[in-house]
Amino acid sequence: MRSQGGGYSPSQIPSVYLVPFLMIVFGLAWGLFAVFIFASDWVVAQFGALSGHHPLFILAVYAPAIAALLLIGITSGFSGLGRFLSRLFLWRASPGWYVFLVLGFPAISFAGALIKGNALSAPMFTEPLTALLPAIGFMLILGPMEEIGWRGFALPILQRRLAPFWAGLILGVIWAVWHLPAFMLSGTPQAAWSFLPFFLGSIACSLILTALFNDSRGSILLAMLFHFQMNNPLWPDAQPHDMYVYVLAGALIVWLNRRSLFSRERAVTEILPGHRAAGVSP
pLDDT on residue 236: 97
pLDDT on residue 280: 37
Mean pLDDT of the chain: 93
pLDDT band at 12, cuts 50/70/90? confident
Whether 279 is covered by a domain: the verdict is no
Amino acid letter for position 186: S
Whether 281 is covered by a domain: the verdict is no
* Contact (Cβ atoms closer than 8 angstroms) between residue 130 and residue 256: no
Query: Does residue 41 have a pLDDT over 60?
Result: yes
pLDDT on residue 193: 95
Residue range 7-34: mean pLDDT, rounded: 87
Query: Does residue 5 have a pLDDT over 90?
Result: no
pLDDT on residue 274: 75
What is the pTM (predicted TM-score) of this model?
Answer: 0.92
- State the Cα angle at 145 between 281 and 271, rounded to 5°: 15
Whether 161 is covered by a domain: the verdict is yes
Whether 275 is covered by a domain: the verdict is no
Q: Which domain range does residue 109 map to?
A: 15-261
Q: DSSP secondary structure string, 7-53? A: SB-TTS--GGGHHHHHHHHHHHHHHHHHHHHHSHHHHHHHH-S--TT
Whether 268 is covered by a domain: the verdict is no
Whether 270 is covered by a domain: the verdict is no
52 against 9, higher pLDDT: 52
Q: What is the DSSP letter of 217?
A: T
pLDDT on residue 2: 36
pLDDT on residue 11: 56
pLDDT band at 117, cuts 50/70/90? very high
Query: Does residue 227 have a pLDDT over 90?
Result: yes
Residue range 238-264: mean pLDDT, rounded: 98
- Phi, psi (rounded to 5 degrees) for 2: -95, 140
Whether 3 is covered by a domain: the verdict is no
Query: Does residue 8 have a pLDDT over 50?
Result: no
Query: For residue 24, which of 79, 80, 63 has the smallest C-alpha distance?
Result: 63
Query: Does residue 113 have a pLDDT over 50?
Result: yes
Residue range 111-116: mean pLDDT, rounded: 97
Long-range pairs, 209-213, Cβ under 8 A, ≥24: 209/147, 209/151, 209/168, 210/151, 210/155, 210/164, 210/165, 210/167, 210/168, 210/171, 210/261, 211/164, 211/168, 211/253, 211/254, 211/257, 211/260, 211/261, 212/93, 212/97, 213/151, 213/155, 213/268
pLDDT on residue 106: 98
* Contact (Cβ atoms closer than 8 angstroms) between residue 227 and residue 146: yes
Structurally, the chain folds into a number of domains equal to 1
Whether 134 is covered by a domain: the verdict is yes
pLDDT on residue 278: 36
275 against 178, higher pLDDT: 178
